[in-house]
Amino acid sequence: MDMTVRLPRGLTLANPVMAASGTFGFGPEYGAYVDIGRLGGVSAKGVSPDPWPGNPPPRVWETPGGLLNSIGLQNPGIETFIAQDLPFLRESGTRVIVNVIGHTVEEYQRVAARLEREPGVDALEINISCPNIKAGGMSFGHDPDQAYAVTQAVRAVTDRPVMVKLSPNIESPARIAEAAVAAGADMISAINTLVGLAIDRHNRRPALGGVTGGLSGPAVKPVALRVVYEVAQAVAVPVIGMGGIAQVEDVLDFLMAGASAVMVGTITFQHPNRMLAIIDGLPAALAVHGFSSLPEIVGVALPTRRQESGR
């Protein structure tokens, strides 16, 4: 079965399974464990114009079926990323997606503009979950107008495929997705982590150095599926689904809910090679469920498609 995924602006993935941003480093780290060239793509850890120090440790805390993290988007800045990590990713044979972060609209735009001069970047993923320091620290992803402004600023400086990554910590992710698409986003990716808190009982304080953290892993999958399902109905562009994928059946669920491709994050910490196992198992899993091609499954669980098929 042909596993190729054709996305806007000529972005073509060898298969629909990509590594999620922040869980696969800036590229080289997993090289000794995973045949990166076989992945559908890699979304690198978020990159800002200048280095960000990140949050004080501890930065991770295990929760039932999940993981709470407060890394704080530590990154060495775009110049170091381009010099140290991009060459490896470019040579790895996979599709390279750069996850873009900023504290202001201009910072997002600077990263996108700087990457425009670099070969070997296949797409940009705009992480709008960052706090906007010019708007009292509320995240860009919480307000359709700010999501529009960031997307439009990035769109103005790049011809590359742009996906906007949604935060699930809002009432209507679909409204944000609509704003991003109106501003020129080619795709929507969802979801980022869910805000949570853990208590360190021994020390009688919040467990994470950053106090609150983002929940990921199998525990968040139902939330992620709900967001993908809503967004896929709200916008006409492809949706990249993620959140709690741990096995091939999870991927089928996301595809049925309307995702054209997926990203896989937290499970990689346990099983570095799980993404490859999922890729290998996907054709058989699709066949078991009666699909003879990949596009056939995308969105079959959506109301419109159910009406067509009478299910």
Partner 1 sequence: MAGEYDVVVQAVRVPGSGYVELVLESPELAQAVPGQFVHVLTPGTLRRPISFSRISAATATAAILFQVVGAGTAWLAGVAAGQTVNVLGPLGHGFPVPEPGRAWCVVGGGVGIPPLFAAVQRWGGQVAASAILGARTAAGLVMVEDFAERGTALTLTTDDGSRGEAGTVLGPFKRWLRAHPDGQVYACGPTPMLAGIAAATRGHRAFLALEQRMGCGIGACLACVVPVHGPSGPRYARVCSEGPVFAAERLAW
Ligand X SMILES: Cc1cc2nc3c(=O)[nH]c(=O)nc-3n(C[C@H](O)[C@H](O)[C@H](O)COP(=O)(O)O)c2cc1C
Q: Which residues are catalytic?
A: 130
Q: Give the DSSP letter string of 14-80.
A: SSSEEEPTTSSTTSGGGGGTS-GGGSSEEEPPPB-SS-B--PPSP-EEEETTEEEE-----B--HHH
State yes or no: residue 180 binds ligand X (CB under 6 A). no
# chain residues binding ligand X, by CB under 6 A: 25
- Pairing status of strand 187-190 against strand 194-197: unpaired
Q: At what angle do helices 105-116 and 144-155 cross, to 10 degrees?
A: 30
State yes or no: residue 21 binds ligand X (CB under 6 A). yes
State yes or no: residue 234 binds ligand X (CB under 6 A). no
State yes or no: residue 22 binds ligand X (CB under 6 A). yes
Q: Using CB under 6 A as the criterion, what x/- string covers residues 125-164 for binding ligand X?
A: --x-------------------------------------
List Cα–Cα distances, 60 to 69, 145, 201, 229, 282, in angstroms.
4, 32, 15, 29, 31
State yes or no: residue 242 binds ligand X (CB under 6 A). yes
State yes or no: residue 124 binds ligand X (CB under 6 A). no
Rule CB under 6 A: choose which of 17, 34, 39, 67 binds ligand X: 67
Please give the backbone phi and psi of residue 161, each rounded to the nearest 5 degrees, phi first: -60, 135
> Given the rule CB under 8 A, which residues bind partner 1?
22-25, 29-30, 32-33, 45, 53-54, 57-63, 65-67, 69, 71, 74, 217-218, 266, 268-273
Nearest alpha carbon to residue 52 among 30, 26, 71: 71
Nearest alpha carbon to residue 115 among 75, 87, 82, 93: 82
The residue behind tokens 């009666």 is: 290
CB of 99 to ligand X, least distance (A): 5
Residues making up the chain, counted from first to last: 311
The backbone region for 215, taken as left when phi is positive above 0, alpha when psi lies in -120 to 50, beta otherwise, is: beta
Of residues 127 and 266, the one with the C-beta less far from partner 1: 266
Site for ligand X in 182-211 (CB under 6 A): 192-193
CB of 19 to partner 1, least distance (A): 9
CB of 98 to ligand X, least distance (A): 10
Query: In this structure, what token pair is assigned to residue 137?
Result: 């620290």
280 binds, among partner 1, ligand X, none (CB under 5 to 8 A by kind): none
165 binds, among partner 1, ligand X, none (CB under 5 to 8 A by kind): ligand X
Contact positions toward ligand X, by CB under 6 A? 20-23, 45-46, 67, 69, 71, 73, 99, 127, 165, 192-193, 216-217, 220, 242-245, 264-266
